[in-house]
């Protein structure tokens, strides 16, 4: 028991984000130096900077956002180590979507909540600081979703407003739910911007910053049924 406490304390600095000092949420790693931050903290930071906040390495002169990547392994570790963090984060997201009157795009938990067999209450881990939660006031992005050809239904409402921290996968789930009435068919959906297929882990912030230059028009994305590879 004693040993475990010491270990958690030691590991604490490795599972927190130096930008918000909270536990990592949507852990995102800079591929050039392997430093990790919350996705929203890092994306926000890289809007004004092109260096790593920790080691000051120049990530890329012009496109630092191309050199960051979602770190599922790290996020799984954080959720495993910090009692209730994942539940809190999911609750926060659900509240957020409820507030804006939308169905959460990802209502199935990323990890496995069932194995939450009463986490050992460790006094060495402080609770995440509510006041410093930098994800609470996520920036919103306006999106226009256009159907592109083959066998896909048009959405009833093609204009949506969504957190800029949502990912392409979130959008795919939203579309799959609307079009197929089955969120789990999201892998059948391709999303494109300017004819270019978008990676599943890109945030909409990232897409609008890197792929969409006209600030006045909503970010226009096309969706289509996934092309089967030959
Ligand atoms: Zn952070
Ligand atoms: Zn670094």
Give 126-174 pLDDT, tens digit per residue.
344 444 444 555 677 888 888 887 667 778 778 787 778 788 888 888 8
* CATH number (domain holding residue 68): 3.30.40.10
**Euclidean distance between CA atoms 141 and 162, whole angstroms:** 6
Asked if residues 125 and 83 have their Cβ atoms less than 8 Å apart, the reply is yes
Mean pLDDT, the chain, whole residue set:
79
CA distance linking residue 93 with residue 109, whole number of Å: 11
pLDDT of 123 over the 90 cut: no
Q: How many domains does the chain have?
A: 2
Q: How far is the CA of 59 from the centre of ligand 2 (A)?
A: 8
Q: Does residue 112 lie in a domain region?
A: no
Task: Say yes or no: 78 and 145 in one domain.
Answer: no
How much distance in Å is there from the Cα of 132 to the middle of ligand 1? 9
Ligand 2 centroid–CA 30 distance in Å is 7
pTM above 0.75, yes or no: no
Q: What is the reported pLDDT for 63?
A: 92
Nearest of 37, 162, 16 to residue 85 by alpha carbon: 16
The CATH code of the domain that includes 204 is 3.10.20.90
Region of 156 (left: φ > 0; alpha: ψ -120 to 50; beta: rest) is alpha
Ligand 1 centre to CA of 135 (Å) is 8
Task: Tell me which ligand sits closest to the C-alpha of residue 29.
Answer: 2
Tell me which residue range forms the domain holding 162: 140-225
CA dihedral for 198, 199, 205, 210, sign (positive or negative): negative
Examine the fold and report which residue of 58, 83, 108 is the final residue of a domain before the chain moves on. Answer: 83
Alpha-carbon dihedral angle through residues 132, 210, 28, 31, given to the nearest 10 degrees:
-140
The ligand whose atoms approach the alpha carbon of 35 most closely is: 2
- Tracing tokens 């910090």 back to the chain, one arrives at 82
Q: What percent of the chain has pLDDT over 90?
A: 31
Ion ligand 1 residue ranges (Cβ < 5 Å)? 17, 19-20, 38, 41
Query: Distance, CA 211 to ligand 1 centroid (Å)?
Result: 24
Name the residues around ion ligand 2, CB cutoff 5 A: 33, 35, 52, 54-55
Q: How far is the CA of 18 from the centre of ligand 1 (A)?
A: 7
């Amino acid at each position: 028991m004693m040993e475990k406490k010491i270990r958690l304390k030691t590991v604490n600095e490795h599972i927190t984000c130096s930008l918000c000092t909270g536990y990592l949420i949507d852990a995102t790693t800079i591929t050039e130096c392997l430093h990790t931050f919350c996705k929203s903290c890092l994306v926000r930071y890289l809007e004004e900077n092109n260096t790593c906040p920790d080691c000051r390495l120049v990530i890329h002169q012009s496109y630092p956002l191309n050199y960051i990547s979602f770190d599922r392994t790290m996020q799984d570790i954080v959720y495993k180590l910090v009692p209730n963090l994942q539940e809190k984060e999911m609750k926060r997201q659900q509240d957020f979507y409820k507030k804006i009157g939308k169905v959460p795009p990802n209502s199935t938990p990323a990890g496995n909540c069932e194995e939450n067999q009463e986490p050992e209450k460790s006094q060495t881990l402080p609770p995440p600081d509510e006041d410093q939660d930098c994800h609470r006031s996520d920036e919103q992005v306006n999106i226009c979703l256009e159907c592109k050809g083959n066998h896909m239904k048009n959405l009833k409402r093609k204009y949506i407003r969504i957190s800029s921290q949502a990912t392409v996968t979130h959008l795919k789930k939203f579309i799959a739910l609307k079009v197929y009435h089955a969120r789990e068919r999201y892998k059948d959906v391709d999303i494109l911007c300017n004819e270019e297929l978008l990676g599943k882990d890109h945030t909409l912030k990232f897409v609008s910053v890197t792929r969409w230059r006209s600030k006045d028009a909503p970010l226009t994305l096309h969706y289509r049924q996934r092309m089967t590879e030959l």
